[in-house]
Amino acid sequence: MPIALVTGASRGIGRGIAVSLGGLGWKIAVNYAGNQAAADECVALVRAAGGDAMPIQGDISLAADRDRLIKATVAWGGRLDLLVNNAGIAPTVRADLLEAGEESFDRLIAVNLKGPFFLTQLAARQMTAQAPDASGSRGQVVIVSSISAYTASTNRGDYCVAKAGLGMVTKLFAARLADSGIRVYEIRPGVIATDMTGTVKAKYDALIADGLTPIRRWGLPEDIGRAVAAVARGDLPFSTGEVLNVDGGFHLHTL
Ligand code: NAP
In a domain? residue 161: yes
32, 142, 147, best to mutate for ligand 1 pocket (most atoms within 8 Å of CB):
32
As a dihedral over the C-alpha atoms of residue 106, residue 108, residue 109, residue 112, rounded to 10 degrees, the angle is: 160
In a domain? residue 104: yes
The share of the chain scoring above pLDDT 90, in percent, equals 98
In a domain? residue 205: yes
**137 alpha carbon to ligand 1 midpoint, in Å?**
28
**12 alpha carbon to ligand 1 midpoint, in Å?**
7
Mean per-residue pLDDT of the chain: 98
CA distance 59 to 57: 7
In a domain? residue 203: yes
In a domain? residue 184: yes
Decide if 185 is catalytic.
no
pLDDT in tens, 169-183: 999 999 999 999 999
In a domain? residue 221: yes
pLDDT in tens, 205-247: 999 999 999 999 999 999 999 999 999 999 999 999 999 999 9
For residues 8-22, average pLDDT:
99
Residue 111, SS3 per DSSP: helix
| Residue 28: half-sphere exposure toward Cβ, Cα within 13 Å | 41
Domain that holds residue 231: 3-245
pTM: 0.99
In a domain? residue 251: no
pLDDT in tens, 44-58: 999 999 999 999 999
- Give the CATH number, domain containing residue 30: 3.40.50.720
Which amino acids bring their CB within 6 angstroms of ligand 1? 7-14, 31-35, 38, 59-61, 86-89, 111, 144, 146, 189, 191-192, 194-197
pLDDT for the residue numbered 28: 99
For residue 31, how far is the Cα from the chain centroid?
11
- Which of the residues 32, 159, 185, 204 is marked catalytic? 159
Sheet with 27-32, strands from edge to edge, namely: 52-57, 27-32, 3-6, 82-85, 139-144, 182-189, 242-246
Instruction: Give one DSSP letter per residue of 2-66, joined into a string.
Output: -EEEETT-SSHHHHHHHHHHHHTT-EEEEEESS-HHHHHHHHHHHHHHT-EEEEEE--TTSHHHH
Q: How many domains does the chain have?
A: 1
For residues 145-153, average pLDDT:
98
**132 alpha carbon to ligand 1 midpoint, in Å?**
31
In a domain? residue 139: yes
